Amino acid sequence: MPVVTSLEELWPPFDLSISCGPLTLRAIRDDDLPELVDAAAAGIHGDDLRPFPRAWAGQHPVALGRNLASRYWKYRATFPSDEWALPLVVRYDGRIIGVQGAEAVRYPILRNLDTFSWLTRSVQGQGIGTLMRQAMCAFFFDELDAHAITSGAYADNPASSAVSRKVGYTANGTKLELRDETAAEHHKFILTPDRFVRPSERVMIQGGAAMRAFVGLPRPSETDDHASESGTSA
């Protein structure tokens, strides 16, 4: 009889599923990469916007795909550790449209993390960016006992800042950060559980208990090993 019965047992993020209505977040598998690259190559932002520290979204599709694949493979190989990142592929009505992720340092002790994301342009402006951030925050607050979640956006990216405010984040200072080797003003935001604006539909989570153990958190006295529901706002 085999000791290990599945890939999900070896790496529990593969069994994680966070869903809310037509939206689903899951760990990125190799089979997702071609469609994910297509979503990125279709365009993430206009030529006049630079939302990332380094410009990568406008690369040739093959170079872009190799960039994304190597980055996500690295994140997979180093999760969990003292400093990790967890990118999740975003599907809406079954179609891959982007990535919602979070990164943290010494998470079992600090319980703080920072979110990051990108979304293909054809579905921007429809509230999906807000919903995928809400789903991610619900998972970390409800399943992994996060104390605070932070995010940030360059001053010339008001759309990202607007998403943070809709989810309940409050301003948390401004600092200069590198962007394409130049200094750029970067706005910081912070979200605590009491200010979290939940989506109107329930967030359904599968695999939360295994993830909790995998990142090194103590097991609560009562845990549903199969699926859980995160409540909606009043």
**Of the ranges 50-54, 77-81, 100-104, 148-152, which one carries the lowest mean pLDDT score?**
50-54
Domain 7-224: assigned CATH number: 3.40.630.30
**pLDDT tens-digit series, residues 44-93:** 776 666 666 576 666 788 888 899 999 999 999 999 999 999 999 999 99
Give the domain ranges of the chain.
7-224
Residue 226's pLDDT band (cuts 50, 70, 90): very low
**Average pLDDT for 207-211:** 96
Output the pTM of the full model.
0.90
Q: Which residues fall within 8 angstroms of residue 140, CB to CB, at 6 or more apart? A: 102, 113, 146, 149
**Average pLDDT for 5-17:** 94
Percent of the chain with pLDDT over 70: 88
